[in-house]
Chains A and B, each alone.
Chain A
Amino acid sequence: MDEEYDVIVLGTGLTECILSGLLSVEGKKVLHMDRNDYYGGDSASLNLTQLYRKFRPDQTPPTELGRDRDYAVDLIPKFIMASGELSKILVHTDVTRYLEFKQIAGSFVYRDGRISKVPSTQMEAVKSPLMGPFEKRRAKKFFEFLQGWKDEDPATHQGIDLDKDDMKTIYEKFGLEPGTQDFIGHAMGLYLDDDYKTQPAREAYSRIVLYTASMARWGKSPYIYPLYGLGELPQSFARLSAIYGGTYMLDKPIHEIITDADGKFVGVKSGEEIVKAKQVIGDPSYFGAGKDVADGGKVRVLEEGKVVRAICILKHPIPGTEDADSLQIIIPQNQVGRRNDIYIAMVSSTHNVCAKDVYVAIVSTIVETDRPEQELAAGLQLLGPVYDKFISVSSLYTPTSSGEADNIFITRSYDATSHFETVVEDVNRVWKAAVGTELVLKKRDVEPEA
């Protein structure tokens, strides 16, 4: 540790590991440390022993759940959009060679007290109970409009300006019912609340197109998932970083972030050792998150909300889902009188994350009251009997500054969205601040199948 580095990265969550990998590929000398003795930080997947140690330190896992090593329980429920930004990074960095992916079997939406499959084919759309026959015709016109849109061809615009008109205007133009709007905005646009309706429609358009493209890629659902859990993602980017010279140290407590008289970053202190670098990148927990006074009294991160998550172990598939081995269920806020949607994400032994005949579902939402667990009730009641349940309430932190002034670049907490698009946005943001240029992915030649 007696060398000087270009960048010290603190925490091995996915955001930090992607950055570490890309920086090492770029030729930067990276030292990557984590206080835990495992990879992944908040985006780790834990085996049973680790899970119980975290939530129930005084209890050992019940033997009837099976072998410890068969489990990889995610702490943060997210899926990968098949055609999204994380997929692109995985392919471009070639870390796909360390990973295997499977589809998530289905995407469901809650409406009027029951759940229905989000149609993945024309056939399913025609049969779907989500819309009546006339509404289906109107929705068809709406989707044809979106699919046919070309920026350069005003004939495809039908009098709409995506950068000025809001989604409300477009819904009204096509005469779509509120339930259909919920379905489009929440189950396809993956908006957590209804604020998007009064924003320019461009972003909603992009999101729906991304959803449709992801759905079209492999069918069934727009999502894919890595075998052995999401914790494989940070590990694979860490390996990429190591291959390009990055140095890794787990189980390394960080005691102090050292700055000079101007507040600029100098190095980090672990025990009696000080290691220096030009820049530091890290997750909020290394920069005073959750503490009343941060190092030197400087407030580097702010809480901007809380998410409540319930990790539920089930001994059966979720009722009413045709025994899907994995799924997402979205409960739009309007349906249950909330401001934010409730999400259910479920995976099973098909994805090598638990023993056979066990299903792991995570119910989550953004906290709106002082009784967060009760806010999950509408989601929990869809699961049927729950074998065991682990509840957490996590604060979402955001940095107070971009980092250019003091060379301290802090990533954001993992939010309540169901996918990794905002994680990649954060990677782009930190890269631009720390490196000074936009992140451009180097395109690799796809190797011939050996």
Chain B
Amino acid sequence: MSKQFQFKLVLLGESAVGKSSLVLRFVKDQFDDYRESTIGAAFLTQTVSLEDGTTVKFEIWDTAGQERYKSLAPMYYRNANCAVVVYDITQTASLEKARSWIRELQRQADPSIVIALCGNKSDLSARRQVTEEEAKKYADEEGLMWGETSAKSGEGVAEIFTAIAKKLPLTAPPSARSGAARPGAAARTGGVDLNKQANTQAGNEGCNC
């Protein structure tokens, strides 16, 4: 019998390191050179099927730009099972920022969270400022997963998310099993789902969308 899991994955990292591009590549296999800051699409899902038949569904939270002035809400970290902390291999300062996000995660997030450090823009290796050795050494010291990616070419993207998908079921709490997350999480925790009956409740509302 195949197992199913659903996990909340949060993205972190300095502005313009390619957080949204990385997700866009992972979820839709697309890349947009002129993509500006994140607008309108900050809640995506993607399912990874592993060789043993296990499926892992990621519910991916983008920062929606709230990281820019250090204004991420505690809600963002809440119940996150994994975090992808992104830096830009052509910007040394972005690794410094990644380190501070990792400290923030260790402070705010659940202690069982799986953290992956991700060096993006590997297609620009001619302008590299952060060596693989340096980043990997830091990741090993902190017990983080690590990989380099190029959202532009797609290189390494599937690999890092698959690696997370493989690791998570081993460490995650049983509550993440069998795909019951929000809003279906209501069933798990004895809660109520506001979207149910919503149609009849709001049936007489005007609609101008």
Chain B residues near A247: list those with CB within 8 A: 65, 68-69
Interface 9-residue window, one of B24-32, B168-176, B184-192: B184-192
Q: Contacts A239-B64, A243-B42, A440-B208 hold; do A446 and B195 have CB atoms under 8 A apart? A: yes
Bound complex: CA of A141 vs CA of B41, how far in Å? 52
Taking a contact as CB atoms under 8 Å apart, the answer to whether B198 and A446 are in contact is: yes
Return A184 CB to nearest CB of chain B, in Å. Answer: 24
Chain B residues near A239: list those with CB within 8 A: 42, 64, 66, 73, 75-76
Which one of A39, A443, A444, A449 has the highest number of Cβ atoms from chain B below 10 Å of its Cβ? A443
Which one of A98, A444, A446 has the highest number of Cβ atoms from chain B below 10 Å of its Cβ? A98
Bound complex: CA of A228 vs CA of B110, how far in Å? 14
Return B162 CB to nearest CB of chain A, in Å. Answer: 20
Q: A242 within 8 Å of B by Cβ? A: yes
Q: A79 within 8 Å of B by Cβ? A: no
Return A267 CB to nearest CB of chain B, in Å. Answer: 18
Q: A321 within 8 Å of B by Cβ? A: no
Identify which of residues 159-209 in chain B touch chain A, using a CB-to-CB cut-off of 8 Å: 182-186, 189-195, 197-199, 201-202, 205-209
Q: B45 within 8 Å of A by Cβ? A: yes
Chain A residues near B38: list those with CB within 8 A: 243
Chain A residues near B209: list those with CB within 8 A: 442-444
Taking a contact as CB atoms under 8 Å apart, the answer to whether A218 and B192 are in contact is: yes
Return B55 CB to nearest CB of chain A, in Å. Answer: 12
- Given B40, B45, B182, B194, which contacts A91 in the complex, CB threshold below 8 Å? B194
Taking a contact as CB atoms under 8 Å apart, the answer to whether B184 and A102 are in contact is: no
Chain A residues near B191: list those with CB within 8 A: 100-103, 227
Bound complex: CA of A224 vs CA of B191, how far in Å? 9
- Given B70, B73, B192, which contacts A39 in the complex, CB threshold below 8 Å? B73
Identify which of residues 405-450 in chain A touch chain B, using a CB-to-CB cut-off of 8 Å: 440-444, 446, 449-450
Query: Scoring B residues 12 to 49 as 1 if CB is less than 8 Å from chain A, else 0, what string do you get?
Result: 00000000000000000000000000111111010000
Identify which of residues 16-52 in chain A touch chain B, using a CB-to-CB cut-off of 8 Å: 38-39
Chain B residues near A235: list those with CB within 8 A: 73-75
Interface 9-residue window, one of A82-90, A162-170, A364-372, A385-393: A82-90
Q: Contacts A96-B183, A100-B189, A102-B191 hold; do A250 and B70 have CB atoms under 8 A apart? A: yes
Return B64 CB to nearest CB of chain A, in Å. Answer: 4
Q: A232 within 8 Å of B by Cβ? A: yes
Bound complex: CA of A236 vs CA of B39, how far in Å? 16
Q: List 13 A-B contacts (CB under 8 A).
A: A91-B194, A92-B202, A96-B195, A101-B193, A102-B190, A103-B191, A242-B42, A243-B40, A248-B65, A441-B205, A446-B198, A446-B199, A450-B57
